[in-house]
């Protein structure tokens, strides 16, 4: 059997987990002196409540190789193949931990194939869904991996953040130094380039930043039929507004709206809204 694993830094509708038989390994979230497992003993609402109450930014860490080893052994049966789909290795050690665990378990009766998305968020969710759909249609693991590579090569991710305070503290966004002087006056546009977050542009207002990401994604996708996701950090109203505009402006096959995972919201902060998309075959 093909087992499909995703780390909790990815985003997907919760019903997909059971519908597409996806196993999710949680990211570690460090809040004060306590460590929580995302979506196991820490919900997204609890995360935002803690941030608002304390004014602090939690830290996150990837599952350790031992956590992966325990997780893989728990879900696998002899003869299984585990396709383990992970957040970009350029921003997290999540993928590397999976690789180390796979090496440790190379003599087990099941096989582990770690896959680096060079992205994350809703793209991980879509990859898991497509992998399962292909598996149910009789595709080989090699064919599924080829499709995962196609999605990875053609994915576009663009966000706007309401404030750079979280990004500044996390150090996960490149070129921060060049805009710190105007941090309170701009709404930065952040894009994913070669697996790394970078500031792509700066606009003056929230309204302008939201319009920018819609128009930018439209230009990147053109008339292609796409799968898309609107991802937000504690701003569902804006996500709904953007989703309506995206569906009117672009050639959308599938679209979902989802909360940004704690693992990513920690680095970008509340008010972050983004669009992720890739062409359908």
What are the extents of the domains in the chain? 2-27+62-152, 156-279
| Structural contact between residues 127 and 144, judged by C-beta atoms closer than 8 angstroms | no
Pick the CATH number of 156-279 from 3.40.190.10, 3.40.50.150, 3.30.1180.10, 3.40.50.300: 3.30.1180.10
Least confident of 20-24, 45-49, 154-158: 45-49
% the chain with pLDDT above 70: 93
Confidence of residue 202 (pLDDT cuts 50, 70, 90): confident
pLDDT in tens, 83-129: 999 999 988 899 999 999 999 999 999 999 999 999 989 999 999 99
Backbone angles phi, psi at 32, to 5 degrees: 65, -130
* CA–CA separation, 179 and 164 (whole Å): 9
Pairing between strand 81-86 and 2-7? Answer: parallel
* Per-residue pLDDT, 181: 36
pLDDT of residue 116: 97
Write out the H or E segment, with its range, that includes residue 105: none
Q: What percent of the chain has pLDDT over 90?
A: 69
Alpha-carbon separation of residue 27 from 43, 175, 209, 224, 277 (angstroms): 12, 26, 30, 34, 24
Higher model confidence: residue 52 or residue 105? 105
pLDDT at 170: 58
Q: CB 117: neighbour CB atoms within 10 A? A: 25
Residue 172 pLDDT exceeds 70: no
Judge whether 228 and 246 are in contact, CB under 8 Å.
yes
Give the list of residues 6+ apart from residue 168 with CB closer than 8 angstroms, or none: 176, 180, 183
Angle, CA 218 vertex, CA 217 and CA 219 arms, to 5°? 90
- Second CATH level (architecture) for the domain 2-27+62-152: 3-Layer(aba) Sandwich (3.40)
Q: Is 272 helix (H, G, I), strand (E, B) or coil?
A: coil
Backbone dihedral angles phi then psi of residue 48, each to the nearest 5 degrees: -65, -35
> Model pTM?
0.91
At 81, which helix (H) or strand (E)?
A: strand 81-86
Closest CA to 1 of 151, 115, 131, 150: 131
Label the pairing between strands 81-86 and 111-116: parallel
Instruction: Give me the chain's average pLDDT, please.
Output: 90
Helix (H) or strand (E) holding 182, with range, is none
pLDDT score of 52 more than 60: yes
């Amino acid at each position: 059997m093909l087992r499909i694993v995703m780390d909790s830094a990815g985003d997907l509708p919760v019903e997909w987990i059971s519908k597409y038989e996806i196993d999710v390994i949680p990211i570690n979230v460090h809040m004060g002196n306590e460590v929580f497992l995302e979506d196991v003993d820490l919900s997204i609402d609890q995360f935002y409540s803690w941030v608002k109450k304390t004014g602090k930014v939690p830290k996150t860490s990837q599952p350790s190789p031992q956590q992966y080893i325990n997780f893989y052994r728990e879900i696998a049966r002899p003869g299984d193949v585990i396709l383990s789909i992970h957040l970009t290795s350029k921003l997290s050690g999540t993928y590397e931990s999976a690789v180390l665990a796979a090496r440790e378990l190379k003599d087990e009766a099941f096989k582990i194939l770690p896959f680096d998305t060079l992205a994350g968020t809703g793209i991980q969710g879509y990859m898991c869904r497509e992998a399962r759909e292909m598996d149910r249609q009789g595709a080989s693991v090699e064919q599924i991996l080829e499709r995962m590579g196609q999605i990875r090569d053609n994915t576009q991710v663009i966000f706007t953040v309401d404030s750079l305070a979280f990004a500044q503290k996390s150090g996960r966004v490149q070129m921060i130094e060049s805009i710190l002087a105007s941090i309170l006056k701009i709404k930065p546009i952040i894009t994913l380039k070669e697996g790394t977050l970078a500031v792509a542009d700066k606009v003056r207002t929230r309204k302008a930043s939201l319009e920018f990401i819609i128009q930018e994604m439209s230009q990147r996708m053109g008339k292609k039929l796409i799968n898309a996701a609107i991802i937000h950090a504690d701003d569902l109203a804006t996500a709904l507004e953007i989703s309506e505009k995206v569906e009117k402006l672009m050639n959308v096959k599938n679209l979902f709206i989802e909360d940004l995972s704690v693992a990513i919201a920690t680095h970008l902060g509340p008010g972050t809204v983004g669009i992720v998309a890739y062409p359908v075959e």
